[in-house]
Structure formats: C-alpha cells, structure tokens
C-alpha cells in the first residue's frame, strides 16, 4: 500500500550545525513531494517542494534531495537555529495532479531539537 515513513523520529543537533532529515516513500508513481514544518499548536507550514523530474532543489537554508531509485527524500537545513526546532513532515502527492485531486500522504514526522 501507499506509505511515507521517516527513519528517525527524533534528531538532536547543535545550533549552527547542519541537519538532515530523511524520509522513505513507497508509491513510485508519486510525482510531487513537500516538506512541512509543524511547530507546537500550529498547522503544517510549507518549507520546500520538489517534483519527480528533479533530484535537488534549494531554498533559503534548506535543500531537498530526491532519490527516485531508492524512493528516498531528505531535507537538509544549513546552520540550524533554535527557531528550526519543530516536527518535520514529508508528504507525497498521490493524486494525478492539477490541484483537484491533491491527496497528500504524510509521514509520521521527525522532531528536530536544536541545542543552543
């Protein structure tokens, strides 16, 4: 069946270090992936997305890598800051696209704890 899972439920890093959060997905037909950040008591906040025709995409301090061969997704956060502490979810869009059939399947989440 379809599933998106995370390898590490908790990641603790020192402030200033780089963080890498990993995610495995099982639906090889998924063509769009998103990383969300969720702070306590808030909704998922969009961080970065990537399409299946790309291997890498960079944003501000964040990079998403997609390895379709092994169905693996990762989020890299450069120079991690205390404000980055949150739960990070990967999500795959299992619908055929175009908006109306968007159906995001979320992973279980990784808690990123940034130590000062």
Partner 1 sequence: EPEVTQTPSHQVTQMGQEVILRCVPISNHLYFYWYRQILGQKVEFLVSFYNNEISEKSEIFDDQFSVERPDGSNFTLKIRSTKLEDSAMYFCASSSLEKLFFGSGTQLSVL
User: Binding of partner 1 at residue 102 (CB under 8 A)?
Assistant: yes
Q: Which of 62, 63, 71, 95 binds partner 1 (CB under 8 A)?
A: 95
Note whether 41 and 22 are within 8 A (CB).
no
C-alpha dist (Å) from residue 57 to 11, 41, 43, 73: 22, 29, 24, 11
* Residue owning tokens 């998403």: 64
Asked if 104 is part of the footprint of partner 1 (rule: CB under 8 A), the reply reads yes
Residue number with CB closer to partner 1 (18 or 102)? 102
Shortest Å distance, C-beta 71 to partner 1: 18
> Cβ of residue 90: shortest distance to partner 1, in angstroms?
11
d(CA 86, CA 68): 26
CA distances from 66 to 25, 56, 60, 105, 113 (A): 10, 6, 18, 16, 24
Scanning 21-29, 64-72, 78-86, 92-100 for contacts with partner 1 by CB under 8 A, the matching segment is 92-100
Per-position x/- string for 29-68, each x denoting binding to partner 1 as judged by CB under 8 A, each - no binding: ---x-x-x----xxxxxx--x-------------------
């Amino acid at each position: 069946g379809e599933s998106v899972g995370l390898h590490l439920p908790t990641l603790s890093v020192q402030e200033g270090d780089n963080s890498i959060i990993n995610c495995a997905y099982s639906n090889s037909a998924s063509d769009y992936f998103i990383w969300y950040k969720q702070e306590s008591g808030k909704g998922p906040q969009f961080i970065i997305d990537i399409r299946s025709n790309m291997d890498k995409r960079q944003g501000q301090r964040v990079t998403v890598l997609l390895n379709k061969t092994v169905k693996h997704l990762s989020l890299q956060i450069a120079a991690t800051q205390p404000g980055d502490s949150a739960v990070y979810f990967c999500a795959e869009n299992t619908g055929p696209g175009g908006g109306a059939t968007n159906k995001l399947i979320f992973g279980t989440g990784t808690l990123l704890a940034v130590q000062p």
